Amino acid sequence: MLSCSRSLLSQTIKRKTKTKAKNKTKTRLKTNKNISRKQKFIAKNQQLEDNEEEEEEEGFNLKSSAPSHSHGVQPLGNLYFNPGSINSRNTGLGNLQILSDELVLEILGLLEGTQLGVLATVSKSFYVFTSHEPLWRNLVLDNLKGGFLYNRSWKVTYISTFCPSFDVSWNSRFSGLRVKDFYSDYLFQSWLCANLEMKPEWLERDNIIRKRGISLDDFVVTFEEPNRPVLLEGCIDNWDALGKWDRDYLVNLCGDVQFSVGPVKMRLEDYFSYSDQVKEERPLYLFDPKFAEKIPNLGSEYEVPVYFREDLFSVLGKERPDYRWIIIGPAGSGSSFHIDPNSTSAWNAVIRGTKKWVLFPPDVVPPGVHPSPDGAEVACPVSIIEWFMNFYGATKNWKKRPIECICKAGEVIFVPNGWWHLVINLEESIAITQNYVSRRNLLNVLDFLKKPNASELVSGTRDRINLYEKFKNAIEASFPGTIDELTLEAEEKKAQQKKMSFWDSVTDSKVGAFKFSF
Amino acid sequence: MAFTWSKTIYMGLDPIFLTELSISIIIFSTIASSKKSRVSKIKTADNEIFEVEEAVATMSNTIKIMAGDCSGGVIPLNNVHSTIFARVIEWCKKHVDDGEDLEYYKGALKNCDATFFEVDQAVLYHLLTTANSLDIKPLLHQGCQRFVDMINGKTVEEIRQLLHIKNDFTNEEEDETRKKLWSSVVGMNSFILL
């Protein structure tokens, strides 16, 4: 799915597996690996019926404001229902029809607004293609950066900015030209993902451990050391932010200050006026690592919960990597699967709103995610909603099930280092998150920074390559002997574990003998 | 050997240095020739085999990955025809030293590519599809740019003729669109459908 990156090509492979998997979601077929051609045909028919159901059930699956594709685009499967029907996608593209949808969009991605406008009138097919919102989003962000004022859609935003004399107001009643006989899996799926709401069955599982008022020691022993996630209740009750941070307060407080939003920077008020209106697959997400430096009040109205106060990167002072972010976004925004940088652990506190979390342990790669062998890249993971549509179902039958939860205002989730995680906001949310290094994962972090491809993997700081040396030296300076101590402890533990398994086996054999003697 | 030595002494060059130098030259040329001999064997869909320098072939990320899997064997490309592949390789040979920075390829077509892209539309589109499936981003980018150049400045009717498209808007729909006239910022007459 096209998002803020101009290239769709990395999505090409994903696209093929997606259409197969899409057919799987609503059918009784157990695996899609061995689907024969005939079964695929049946699957597509069922998909069609289900789509029709989906479209008619208002507010259940689709956002009620979008009962069907605004231009009438249908998935390719529907074409099978109308044998003899022509796909106006092809006739309207002429010589270009042999190109895939992604390639057509790749070409259109090079055009300016005027050129897109001209093409839009060539044929109905071009009209549909050139209406693809991500194209206009790129044009707006490239030309206006964060200085845009979102107006109904990216296309209208572009026109109202660059052609202010053009009257866009009459268009509010007219939702666009509807095209018959246009079939395209890619464009249909793109629209579907932008308009789908989270299904209840995706939100049912909540198997995280919840704790309230545990001691720091308990936390370290039960969760931090064994590297397990936990949801902590009640530990941010004393935050000023909980009572104070609502929209009006924040907008007044932040005024014209620019916050990091994806590839651009925006005023908070402008961001809210975007997030109120937008309906897209990957909404722009406000994720700023310098919020406390920009607005000191924001920094003083929260404090780090007691469990996470050991913060060893602080020895680097101003040279430390980015470590804390304010996160604001509408329903549907979030982060697709990733592992946090530099092998750090993290905590995430929800101040307003609700977040759905899905976590996998470090050794379990989530379905649908393809990290490169050196871990430097995660092959452009599918969008959040597409992951739920196509891959969430697979986790139900896996032995290694993910940890899931819904985190509400006032709750804090602990994300242990190395864990894969995905987050989606179920409503507009405001949260604070910090990454940190404590003694428990100091050695892990040093190992990570030592890696030969550190310059690609290490993030959040300008001076990537020297971070290992700097950090190590700074730790030695502030906490002399700690690294050696921890290394010794780790080696002892390993030796003990080996010993234990030996004794375990001895005990077992005793038990066996005991039973046997009966 | 003795003759050579005496010659070098005569020329004032330290014979030991010269021996070391000649050994280095021998080693270097061995390495160089072994690099040259690193050739990828690629088989296209119509069973034609291409022997291509590895550096050229691996401009395609797809081939790079497959080479890793095939370890020295023949790399099969099951959906690329030899005629198109030959052209792709021709382009890659020209650009093998241009580095991987995509920024270099953005903007107008490179002069050296002008003639390369003067081809039939059918060939161009096959080039695009092949560049995509072989994951050669610079070639894909240049190919798309070529298409953009082709349609730039053309009127709607001219584009339809170029791409063999029949106008499929009904009269009603066209009236609607003409209502929404938008004089573009560049001064070109164009209109946009909302």
Mean pLDDT of chain A, nearest integer: 80
The CB-side HSE value for B54 (13 A sphere, CA atoms) comes to 15
Q: Check whether B67 has a pLDDT greater than 90.
A: no
The DSSP string of A473-507 is HHHHHHSTTHHHHHHHHHHHHHHHHHHHHHHHHHH
Q: Residue A458, SS3?
A: coil
User: Is position B190 within any domain?
Assistant: no
Instruction: Tell me: do A159 and A261 sit in the same domain.
Output: no
Q: Among the three residues A195, A224, A242, which one is the final residue of a domain in this structure?
A: A195
Total of domains in chain A: 2
Examine the domain organization and report whether A229 and A182 are in the same domain. no
- Per-residue pLDDT band for A458 (boundaries 50, 70, 90) equals low
Quote the pLDDT of residue A5. 30
Alpha carbon distances (Å) from A135 to A96, A116, A156, A172, A192 = 18, 9, 12, 21, 17
Instruction: Decide if A99 and B125 are in contact by the 8 Å CB cutoff.
Output: yes
Residues A92, A176 within the same domain: yes
Regarding whether A209 and A182 lie in a shared domain, the answer is: no
The CATH number given to whatever domain includes residue B89 is 3.30.710.10
Same domain, yes or no, for A82 and A180?
yes
- Asked if residue A100 and residue A209 are part of one domain, the reply reads no
Q: Poorest-confidence range of A119-133, A266-280, A377-391, B137-151? A: A377-391
Residue A98 to residue B191, Cβ atoms within 8 A:
no
Looking at residue A426, what DSSP letter applies?
Answer: S
Mean pLDDT of A396-402: 82
Q: Answer yes or no: do A396 and A347 share one domain.
A: yes
Q: Is residue A11 part of a domain?
A: no
The total of structural domains in chain B comes to 1
**Any domain includes B168:** no
**For residue A171, is it within any domain?**
yes
Element (DSSP H or E) covering residue A38: helix A37-56
* Boundary-marking domain end, from A156, A179, A195: A195
Contact of B176 with chain A, judged by CB distance below 8 Å, is answered with yes
With beta carbons under 8 A apart, name residues in chain B contacting A174. Answer: 194
**Which chain A residues are Cβ-neighbours of B162 within 8 angstroms?**
95
pLDDT tens per residue across span A171-222: 554 456 788 888 998 999 888 888 888 999 999 999 999 999 999 999 999 9
Query: Is B50 contained in some domain?
Result: yes
| CATH code, domain carrying A103 | 1.20.1280.50
* Pairing status of strand B189-191 against strand B181-183: antiparallel
Instruction: State whether residue A70 sits within 8 Å of chain B by CB.
Output: no
Which candidate from B128, B159, B163 shows the least CB-CB separation from A103? B128
* Yes or no, beta carbons of B169 and A123 under 8 Å apart: yes
Contact B193 A176 (CB under 8 A): yes
Domain membership flag for residue B2: no
Residues A127, A251 share a domain:
no
Mutate to test the interface with B, among A114, A118, A181 (most CBs of B within 10 A): A118
Measured between beta carbons, the chain B residues lying within 8 angstroms of A96 are 125, 163
Most confident by average pLDDT, A334-338, A429-433, A463-467, A476-480: A429-433
Tokens for A455, please give them: 């310059």
A429 lies in the same domain as A363:
yes
Indicate whether B109 belongs to any domain: yes
| Domain interval for residue B124 | 11-151
**Residue bearing the bigger pLDDT, A26 or B101:** B101
Closest-approach residue (CA) in chain A for B157: A122
A328 in any annotated domain: yes
* Shared-domain flag, residues A187 and A212: no
Give the C-alpha separation, A500 to A512, whole Å. 18
What is the tens place of the pLDDT at every residue in B83-126?
999 999 999 998 888 877 777 777 777 777 888 898 899 999 99
Domain that holds residue A99: 73-195
Residues of A in contact with B122 (CB under 8 A): 95
Option in A12, A107, A126 nearest B144 (CB) = A107
Residue A347 sits in a domain whose CATH number is 2.60.120.650
Inspect the interface and report whether the beta carbons of A122 and B177 lie closer than 8 Å.
Answer: no
Q: Is A131 in the B-facing interface, judged by CB distances under 8 Å?
A: yes
| A156–B159 CB contact, under 8 Å | no
Across the range A89-111, mean pLDDT stands at 93
Whether residue A142 is found in the same domain as residue A231 = no
Q: Give the pair of three-digit tokens for residue B45.
A: 């869909």
Q: What mean pLDDT do residues A463-467 have?
A: 71
